[in-house]
Amino acid sequence: MDEAWKRIDGFQDLVDWFGRAPGFHDGYVLSLKIDFPTEAVLVMHGWGMTDRVDARGYFELEKHFVATFRLADLVRIELNDPDHAGSIVEWLTITADGDQLEFAINPILGTGGLLRCLKASVSFEPGKPTT
């Protein structure tokens, strides 16, 4: 696991449940609320993709979860599309740069860009989103 992920409070709980650090490949941005410079809340739907294929030819998915990232003490925000509803991400990449954490949303569709903060935490709920 990358050192940056280890700096996120609660992330080890998600890793323990999921079995590895999730990359959020093809995941959804369910909501993104920003109160600059205090806080941003990024809610994402993620899952694990298996090597099994269903009758329709799609990879079977397992271990769905909803993760809520809370980013505190925001330093920088660069978003290319403020309409985040329904965004699909290729990857969520988190890196450390000195005392800052950078959350890079690499989009397939919709919102992409980066959020930099000094502190972050994550909580999660197993299962698919209810709304």
pTM of the complete model: 0.92
Contact status, residue 86 vs residue 31, Cβ threshold 8 Å: no
65 neighbors 125 (Cβ within 8 angstroms): yes
Q: Are the C-beta atoms of residues 39 and 70 closer than 8 Å to each other? A: yes
Closest CA to 42 of 129, 121, 99, 109: 121
Per-residue HEC secondary structure of 50-97 comes to EEEECCCCCEEEEEEEEEEEEEEEEEEEEECCCCCCCEEEEEEEEEEE
- Nearest partner of 62 among 129, 6, 128, judged by Cα: 128
**Into how many domains does the chain fold?**
1
* Residue 85: pLDDT band with limits 50, 70, 90: low
State pLDDT tens for residues 67-78: 999 999 999 999
**Rounded mean pLDDT of 81-97?**
83
> How confident is residue 115, by pLDDT bands cut at 50, 70 and 90?
very high
Check whether 1 has a pLDDT greater than 60: no
Query: According to the model, what pLDDT value does residue 83 have?
Result: 66
Mean pLDDT over the full length of the chain: 91
Residue 91 · residue 103 · CB < 8 Å: no
Please report whether residue 131 resides in a domain.
no
- Confidence at 84, pLDDT banded by 50, 70, 90: low
Task: Return the structure tokens found at 102.
Answer: 């950078």
Q: Which residue range is the domain that position 81 belongs to?
A: 3-50+57-126
Residue 62 CA to residue 5 CA, distance in Å, equals: 22
